[in-house]
Amino acid sequence: MASVGIECSERLNHLIEYSILFQSPFLQMKSAVRNIIILTIIVAIAMLIRMYVIGSYRITGSSMGDTLKGGDFVLVNKTKYPNNQGYNRLLLYKSPLSRDAIKPPLFIGRNIGNPGDVIQTTINGIRINGRLLPDTQSIQPAFRINKNIRESLLQTLESLQIPLRQMKEDSVGIILRMSLQEKELLNHNLSKIIPVDMIEDYATNDEFIIPSKGKNIEMNEIALIIYKEAIMNETDNAAIISDGKLFIHGEEQTFFTFNNNYYWMLSENKTEGIDSRQLGLIPKSHIIGNIWFCWYSKDPAHRFKKIK
């Protein structure tokens, strides 16, 4: 009887050992799957936070003067609460230009104009709702271009669909009014053909409204300078601007109703910075968020500093 008991006990031990050996890979596999699931959830949460709540970016330009420097690392608040892109906020935004649609570059600027605000350009600078912003340039100056490139100039203007606004000629050159954005585009294309020098001739005095969603705005020659890029984007390039008039699907439009809210940005680097003076209106959908904290900088004074 004792030998039978011992034999049964040994068989039981073998069964237990076999069961442990059999279950160990299974348990390990379950543990590995659980860890993968947990890691996937953590990564997904981190990605969602970076996409919709807060993200870290490295400054590569010098568009903000002394506020931020090239090489600084900043945190950007991407939440959609109403005041996130409020007045004087330092915002990170994408270029609204159609030529940048595939991979739009990022820019930094202060929001100086909200939907519905009135902007005036004067010889002294820019006014927002009557308040003068000191040391700002006009938005639609006129430029003097050497007369000896007249033929190439006119051909390039036509190919770029830039109107001949208030064009004048004297014994020295051609004076043509255009936005800074159009001037940059014209200069880029002309320089491929012939050396060109554009000299700012005089500032203009204009007034326009920053469009808000559902706002119906009258179209005239001045408005079409300001709103051209926004209109082209909202109509999927179905609009045509010719002789100071707007045509959509072949019909002239004296008013245009905007489908988006827009903003006006200003760089703190007044000589090299790119902002709404070159890019035009910035749609809300192109605003990534406000820059609120610098967490690393080569300059110790900028590290762990809240951005105002």
Q: How many CA atoms lie within 13 A of 285 on its CB side?
A: 9
Query: What tens digit of pLDDT does each residue of 130-185 get?
Result: 888 766 655 556 777 877 788 888 888 888 878 776 677 776 678 777 777 777 88
Question: 142-202 maps to which CATH number?
Answer: 3.30.70
Provide the pLDDT for residue 116. 94
- Distance (Å, rounded) from C-alpha 179 to C-alpha 268? 20
CB 177 within 8 Å of CB 198: no
Of 143, 273, 270, 255, the residue nearest 203 (C-alpha): 143
SS3 146: strand
pLDDT at 12: 47
Q: What is the CATH number of domain 55-137+208-306?
A: 2.10.109.10
3-state secondary structure labels for all residues of 88-121: CCEEEEECCCHHHCCCCCEEEEEEEECCCCEEEE
88: left (phi over 0), alpha (psi -120 to 50) or beta: left
| Cα distance between residue 196 and residue 193, in whole Å | 9
The residue type of 222 is I
Task: Tell me the C-alpha to C-alpha distance, in Å, between residue 118 and each of 7, 130, 150, 271.
Answer: 98, 8, 36, 24
pLDDT 10s digits, 52-67: 778 888 887 655 666 7
Residue 296 pairs in a beta bridge with: 73
| Whole-number Å distance between alpha carbons of 239 and 284 | 21
Class of residue 89 by CB neighbours under 10 A (exposed 0-12, middle 13-18, buried 19+): buried
* CA atoms of 66 and 74, how far apart (whole Å): 14
In this structure, are residues 153 and 182 in contact, taking their beta carbons and an 8 Å threshold? no
Residue ranges for the chain with pLDDT beneath 50: 1-8, 12, 15-16, 21-22
Q: What is the DSSP string of 49-90?
A: HHHHTEEEEE--S-TTTTSS-TT-EEEEE----GGGG-TT-E
143: phi then psi, degrees, rounded to nearest 5: -125, 140
Q: What is the 3-state secondary structure (H, E, C) of 168-182?
A: EECCCEEEEECCHHH
Looking up tokens 């035009």, which residue turns up?
280
Q: What whole-number distance in Å separates Cα of residue 203 and Cα of residue 167?
A: 14
